[in-house]
Structure 1
């Protein structure tokens, strides 16, 4: 069983950025052209894109719609999962109608579970639940608020609702290139029946090898951001490894 690789395109002010630990003040700009970045990832052979409207996550409504639409136009046929500021059934429907394959509900999953569950049931296998955690507790509002809800408890709410996946992000590792929190990610995957996508901290092919080795336990994929942009992870080697190869090729 292989691992799906999701290259990340995080949007802030219409530009492609990466944050450190979710801090909007710690943004590194990698491209002023999100559509061009999407074309690069498509040309490299990636089969999905992971797009986040960072401004939208903080504002509670879409804020980089133009950039998202440009990405859609630049990568026809490449499935995209999109998160950030999606808080209503109307917004979910609008994005799916425009061609987004999978919508990610993050803060709404905790703060408005009725909506999130209704969306999962209305669009089976087209909604991913984004669970961002610090110290095992769910964080919301662009990671600005830490709740008292354990990540595993939140994931279990969506087991029977038709969610496509749970995207689990360890905030303390996100953008820090410190390695994936394999222990916490695997514990969540073992605790729930929904496939888990790992996020946060990927720094090398070794991280991908560790995840690929346990993919059969419920880890469906991994999101890669800074390590791709900084050249620490070679796309061709990463894709080969995720499909069952070895680090040495």
Structure 2
């Protein structure tokens, strides 16, 4: 199971939100590229990037910070936030992203997801962010009546590389991931699932790894910045398991 350190970008800085609220952002670094290098130095194999402003704006906002990260590390990076048309998808992949994450458009323009996944095999993931089992879009600001499992299953034959499932109420709250919901989603679809939201300790990672169904990975942010989770030790433990 891959551990993805998260770098969430707001106004060019590395931040973590509390339960998806932009007004409750804690700044952890004003140098995203240096933070990325620090994570890589500790042994991570992937980085998870989010353009928070872009998620609300519907277009890339923190492009300069993302490009600085891509130029400074040699591990693959995936990015979500503000990617809502084919031109933006193509532009990011051309700039060196390994994978783009499509969230809002997965609900509003599912055909775009299918088109992109076909055009760029292995480089398109679907981000499913939810509260109480229902999908939220546009930077988590818009609630829908779409159920997580229904959305995931709708892309079974699309060729997407992964589903990144975030329980919004757990995100940044340091209360542990929603293991039951994550495992249920992984059982309901053949698409690899990456867990996100609330991963705050080594015990959380082990619990996800041992949840009874194979997960592709887990994303952690605040716990790494706060020191509650030691990245090197966590990577070592996951490798040993």
Tell me if both proteins adopt one fold, taking TM over 0.5 as the criterion. Answer: yes
Q: Is the 8 A contact 1:208 1:241 kept in 2?
A: no
Q: Which residue does 1:94 correspond to in 2?
A: 91
Q: Does 1:170 align with 2:167?
A: yes
Tell me the secondary structure at the aligned position of residue 211 of structure 1.
helix
- Gap runs ≥5 in structure 2: none
What is the distance in 1 between the residues matched to 2:156 and 2:76?
A: 23
1:84 Cα deviation from its structure 2 partner: 0.4
**Please, which of 210, 215, 219 is the counterpart of residue 215 of structure 2?**
219
Q: Does 1:69 align with 2:67?
A: yes
Alpha-carbon deviations, 1:161-197, whole Å to 9, x = none?
1100000000000000000100000000000000000
1:233 Cα deviation from its structure 2 partner: 0.4
Give the TM-score normalised by the residue count of structure 2: 0.98
What is the distance in 1 between the residues matched to 2:170 and 2:21?
A: 12
Q: Does 1:229 align with 2:225?
A: yes
Alpha-carbon deviations, 1:112-160, whole Å to 9, x = none?
1111111111111110100000000000010001100100000111111
What is the distance in 2 between the residues matched to 1:22 and 1:91?
A: 24
Q: Does 1:243 align with 2:234?
A: no
Alpha-carbon deviations, 1:70-110, whole Å to 9, x = none?
000110x2100001000111100010011000000011100
Tell me the secondary structure at the aligned position of residue 100 of structure 2.
strand
Q: Which residue does 1:183 correspond to in 2?
A: 180
What is the distance in 2 between the residues matched to 1:118 and 1:149?
A: 21
Count of matched residue pairs:
241
**Please, which of 78, 83, 91 is the counterpart of residue 81 of structure 1?**
78
Q: Which residue does 2:139 correspond to in 1?
A: 142
1:218 Cα deviation from its structure 2 partner: 3.3
Q: Which shows bigger deviation, 4-13 or 151-160?
A: 151-160
1:16 Cα deviation from its structure 2 partner: 0.3
1:244 Cα deviation from its structure 2 partner: 3.1
- Gap runs ≥5 in structure 1: none
1:21 Cα deviation from its structure 2 partner: 0.7
What is the distance in 1 between the residues matched to 2:213 and 2:70?
A: 32
C-alpha RMSD over aligned residues? 0.9
**Please, which of 140, 149, 156 is the counterpart of residue 153 of structure 2?**
156
What is the distance in 1 between the residues matched to 2:165 and 2:6?
A: 14
Alpha-carbon deviations, 1:16-48, whole Å to 9, x = none?
000001100000000000000010001000000
What is the distance in 2 between the residues matched to 1:182 and 1:241?
A: 19
Q: Which shows bigger deviation, 156-165 or 42-51?
A: 156-165
**Please, which of 192, 197, 200 is the counterpart of residue 197 of structure 2?**
200
